[in-house]
Structure 1
Amino acid sequence: MYSIIAPVMRIIEIPFAFVQSRLGIRRLAWLFLAPNLILFGLFAFLPIILNVLYALTGGDQVLLGDRPFVGAGNFETLANCANYLDPNSCEKDLFWRAIWNSVWFVALQVGLMVAFSLLTALVLNRKIRARGFFRGVFFFPVLLSPVVVALIWKWILQRNGVLNAGLDSLGFEPYTWLLDTRWAFSWSVFLSVWAHMGFYTLILLAGLQAIPRDVYEAALMDRASNWRTFTKITLPLLSPTMLVVLVLALIKGVQTFDEVYAFTGGGPGSATTFIIQFIYQTGFAGNPRLFGLAAAASILLALVLVVLTAVQLWVNRRNVDG
């Protein structure tokens, strides 16, 4: 094998040796980074630039050359509101309904996600029977497609679904869960927590296992209670991992779309219409397709995520320095 590979590698070495002699050893690294940088620029930076350009133009034409320049007109349309707490007073009432739905959804979903993930990670970190099996069980929903998850729970909660069949066997009347605005929203939160909790549990479990065991042994020798050990040792040492989970869950919660869209379609009415669905409907599913308005909404969403992430990182840095 060496007699075959060695001549091939010597041939390949010739052009690289020539390039290295021209560029130098330091600049040669850019040659290997260039393919990734080009792909990253084409599929990351270029779409961002195009999105900004679309946000500054109007009309329903696809090509930028056919779209009139409107400046901040799309942002003014979205922000045109007499009372931001009352979506009915806004020019784009669905946009503000989607915002408030997203705010409530993220607050509930992220809070429950972090709480249940931490509780599950603490349990799975203990020496229990079939610990590996239960770790796999909690992580299994993460492997499923969001659409599959939505269809499974839609099948369970529909009028003739499994849940109503169980209630009927107990003597209760079947209920149209997904046609009630409050229940549809609550089940959407539950669906999202159930589908993604295993991922965050895995991250927290890794953080728990990274805590030195001798710290717990010292607490045990000092006869510290379980609650004191948890609040004074586990939580402080787990706080960097908790911040990662919080940021990831927050970004994922704000970007929720596919599973809820397949689950409720944004209904009943606009009860489960979130900001990403508004962007999709405005830019791709509506008639006319208002690409500029959808692009403006996506930029506002991106700015909010950047600000929230920066605040959380600042708080964590301040806690670490303190």
Structure 2
Amino acid sequence: MLGLLTSIMRVFEIPMAFLQRILGIKHLAWVFLAPNLILFFLFAFLPVFLNVVYALTGGDQILLRDRAFVGADNFAVLASCDNYLDPNTCQKDLFWRAVHNTGWFIVLQVGFMIGFSLLTALVLNRDIRARGFFRSVFFFPVLLSPVVVALIWKWILQRHGLMNAGLDAIGLEPVLWMLEREWTFFWSVFLSIWAHMGFYTLILLAGLQAIPRDVYEAALMDAATPFRTFYRITLPLLMPTMLVVMVLALIKGVQTFDEVYAFSGGGPGSATTLLIQYVYETGFAGAPRLFGLASAASIMLALVLVVLTGLQLWATRKNADG
């Protein structure tokens, strides 16, 4: 076996020695980087470039040679609105409904998720019984597929599901959780928090454990109350981690698609239609397939993600410098 491996390595040694003589030892690293660079170009840079090209062309044809150049018309169509707070006054009202839904989804999901994650991390950081078990329980939903999460809660909340069975058992009328706009949106936010809260809890727990214990001992000697200790010590020292968690949660919230789509399909009506779903349905699931409009919407969304990513990098750098 060792002899076979030696023979194989000698076969590769011949072209590598030839490349080393041609390129030199300093440039030989590009030979090893080339496969990764090619894959990165094909599956990252090229799709982004094509997306920009499609955003600048119109029609429902998929081949670029059959598409007419329209410049920024797709962006103008999406931005055409008399009152951006009222989607009914917009030319593409479904797009702006998706924008509004995504905005509310982010505000509620990120706000409550950070609050619950912080509370859970504070509890799990204490010396409680079966602490390792509870940490595993809170992190377990993160390991589930988003589609599995959606199907679990859809089974619980459907008309003859587990939730209504519980209400019926105590003599209450069943609720159409999946058919009423407010309830469907509420449960979409809830299942997203349930699915991802464990990840942010883990980050905040790591931040809490990085705080020196002697600081708390000094506060205890000064007879500081628990609330004052949290407000004056824990929260300021945890703020860099909190900022990173907030930015990560914002980026994840903007990109939400799979669990909400599998849970409600964007309904009832357009109550839970988010931006990623609008891009998907406009470019791939609708008829006609408006690739240019979908590409323009995705670029507008990408600009938001670039801003949020820049904020994350700034927060990380500030945390490292501080």
Superposition pairs of residues 36-185 of structure 1, within 5 angstroms: 36-185=36-185
For 1:231 and 1:313, the matched residues in 2 are separated by 26
For 1:17 and 1:217, the matched residues in 2 are separated by 63
Amino acid at match of 2:120: T
Q: Please say if 1:304 is aligned against 2:304.
A: yes
Residue 260 (structure 1) aligns with: 260
Per-residue deviation, 1:25: 3.5
Please say which of residues 222-231 and 39-48 is displaced more in the overlay: 222-231
For 2:123 and 2:117, the matched residues in 1 are separated by 10
For structure 2, the residue ranges without an aligned partner over 5 or more in a row are none
For 2:306 and 2:292, the matched residues in 1 are separated by 21
Q: For the structure 1 residues 125 and 18, does the alpha-carbon distance in structure 2 shift closer, same or farther, using more than 3 Å as the test?
A: farther
Q: Deviations over 1:99-129 (max 9, x none)?
A: 0010000000001111111111121122211
Amino acid at match of 1:64: L
Q: Deviations over 1:265-293 (max 9, x none)?
A: 11111111111111111001111000000
Per-residue deviation, 1:7: 6.6
Counterpart of 2:57 in 1: which secondary structure? coil
Amino acid at match of 2:56: L
RMSD: 2.3
Q: Please say if 1:209 is aligned against 2:209.
A: yes
For the 8 Å contact 2:110–2:250, the answer to whether it is kept is yes
For 1:42 and 1:20, the matched residues in 2 are separated by 27
Superposition pairs of residues 236-255 of structure 1, within 5 angstroms: 236-255=236-255
TM-score normalised to structure 1 length: 0.92
Q: For the structure 1 residues 291 and 230, does the alpha-carbon distance in structure 2 shift closer, same or farther, using more than 3 Å as the test?
A: same
Residue 200 (structure 1) aligns with: 200
Q: For the structure 1 residues 218 and 47, does the alpha-carbon distance in structure 2 shift closer, same or farther, using more than 3 Å as the test?
A: same
For 2:204 and 2:314, the matched residues in 1 are separated by 21
How many residue pairs are counted as aligned between the two chains? 322
Per-residue deviation, 1:222: 3.8
For 1:24 and 1:219, the matched residues in 2 are separated by 62
For structure 1, the residue ranges without an aligned partner over 5 or more in a row are none
Q: Please say if 1:19 is aligned against 2:25.
A: no
Q: Deviations over 1:281-312 (max 9, x none)?
A: 10011110000000000000011122234346
Amino acid at match of 1:188: S
Per-residue deviation, 1:216: 3.0
